[in-house]
Structure 1
C-alpha cells in the first residue's frame, strides 16, 4: 500500500447494528457490515477495540473478514484511531523501528476511513498477530499469546493487585494453540522465577530465544513504551525451534508521550526496562554484556535523529494533506506541525541519556 496517497476504506454498517454497537462500547461483540477497498467490496464483522481508548470520541475498530474469508492473506485487521497521539505517527514509527532492528513486527499503514458515507479520518491499519501473520511469512508457529493486561509481567505475583497469581497464565489470552501450550507457558514462567542463577542460565535457552528478546528489549527501551514491558506485546512459540519470541503491539505511547498524549521525560524508563524476565536475563553477565552491545549499536546506527528524521518527514508529508479532512483532528493541525521537532528532541535526549548510562558501566 505504498505511494504518496492514503488508501480510502469505505465502511458501511446498518444503522440499527451501529446503534447496537454504540449501546455498549465495552462489548467484544461484533456486528455485520462491509468495506470497500480499491473498488472491492468485502463482507465483514466489525467491533470496537482497545481499552481506555474506547472512551474517546474517535473509535478504534477491529475487522474480521467474512466473505471472502481472507484479504491479502489476513483474517482480521485493526484500525487504530491514534487519537491521543498529536503526531498520529508514533505507532507506525515504532513498528518501522522495530522491524529495522530485526524484531518480528506487524505491518502498519495509514489509511483514510469513511463510515456510512461520513469522514472518520486518518487511521493506522495494523496487521493482526495470528496464525495467518506467520503463514504469510512462511514461519512455523506452535502458539500465540496476547499480553492483555499488566499481569503479563513474567512474575509469580500480580502486577495489578500485588498478590500471588491464582494462575500463571493470568494476563495472557491464547490466540492460537492448544492447552499443552498453556502448560508450557506456565512451566516457563515458573522456572524463570524459581531457578537459581546457574540453572537459569542453562535452562532459559530451552524456552526463549534470548538474543531476539534482547533486541526487543532494546527497542522498547529506546522508544520508551512504559506499558510495553508487562503489556502491549505478543508472545509466540516458534514451531521450528520451540522457543518463545516476542513482538511489539500498540506503540502509540512512545517517543516522549504517554497514553494520554502528555509529555513524558526522556529518562522516565531506565535502561534495563522492567519486568521479571528482563531482570533475570540481565542478571547473567554474558546476556547482560550482549544487551549492552546491542543497545550501543542501536544508539550509533539506528536510534538517532540523522536516521529517523527522514522517516518522520516522509510520514508527515504523507499525512499532512489528510489531517485537515479528519473531523476529530482538523482543529489540532498546529499541534501536529510541532510534533516532528518534539520527537527529534526526545530522540536526542533519550540517546544521550542511554549513552551516559552505558558509560557509567564502562560500555
Structure 2
C-alpha cells in the first residue's frame, strides 16, 4: 500500500511573474477548490521580465502561422484588452506602424503583410506619404499599420491575477532544493528552510527556469542566456503618437530599437540586445561570476557568438555610445537628437539557447512526472499570458490526476 503524504497544496508554482500568476489563475478557474501556492523570490510580483518591458500588447504579426506564439499572441491580445477593461487596468489599443527605411527591407515588410493575414490580423499597407497620417515625424519608404496592437500596465495585470486567483502567494521565498518522487509528489525547500509539499510542480521561473528544471532532476537540454535590453525615454514625447517599429531581422528573435508611447504618455525608445553578465544584470556593473560561467561554458553561447558577432558588436557599440544609439533611432525618427534620449530602466530577456546555438523562437513547455516546465516564454509572453496560463494549467491538472 502506498505511503500517505500530507500535501500543503495541490499545485506549487515557482515564479510570480505574469505567466506564473496566470497559471495559478487558470488552475483555480478550471478546477475550483484546487489548492495553489505560488513561490516568488522577490518581495512582490512581476519584478523582472513582466515589469521591465515596453508594455506592448503584441498583435502576433511576427510569428510563424501555427506556432504557439502566433496562436497565443493573437488570442491573448484580445483577451488582455478584455481583462484590462473588466478590472479597470490602464490600457489602450493604439495600433502600430512597422516601417521599412531601406530598400532591402521591403521584401521582409511584404512578407509580414502576408504573415499577418495568415494569422488573421488586419493589416493596412502604406506608401511613404501615408506614414504621416499616423506619425508625422516618422520617415520611411513604406510601412504597414497593425490596428490590434496596444499598450497596458502588465504589472497591474499581474497584481490582479494574483488577487483574483485565490492562490496562496509567498514572496521572498527563493527555492533552494527540490525533491521529486513520482509516487509521492514534490517537496520544495525555500531559502529560509520552509518545506512545502505538493502533488505537482509548475516551473515558471523565467530567468531561472533551466536552473529550477535541473533542481527538479530534469535535463531541459537548453540554457537561459540572458540578453539585456536598454531603454531611453524621449524628452520630446510629442514627436511620437503611438508605436513605431523597424522591420525585424528574421535571423534574430529581437524586434530592434522601436518607439513606444506608454499608457502614461511617455515614449520609450529601445531596446537593444547585449549580453548580460548576470541573469538579473540590468547594467554592465552587475556581474555574477557563477551565472556568467554558466553562460560561457554552454556550447550554444559560443556558437551564437561565432555566427552573429557582427550583429552583437553593433549592439554593444550602441550600448556604449549614445550617439550610435541615436543614429539607430534617427532611421525612424530623423528629428531625434542625443539630447532627446534620457536613460531609462533596462530589462533582461530570458533567451533559451540549445547546445547547437539555436535561439529558440517559440514558447517551450516540457513535462515530466509531476512537473511542468515553462522553459522559453519571452515576448510576447505578457501579451499571451492568459492563454499560456490555461495551457500550462491544463497540463498541471492532467499531471495531478494521472500520477
Q: Scaled by the length of structure 1, what TM-score is found?
A: 0.26
Higher strand share: 2
Q: Scaled by the length of structure 2, what TM-score is found?
A: 0.24
Higher helix share: 1
Relative CO higher for 1 or 2, CA cutoff 8 Å, sep ≥ 6?
A: 2
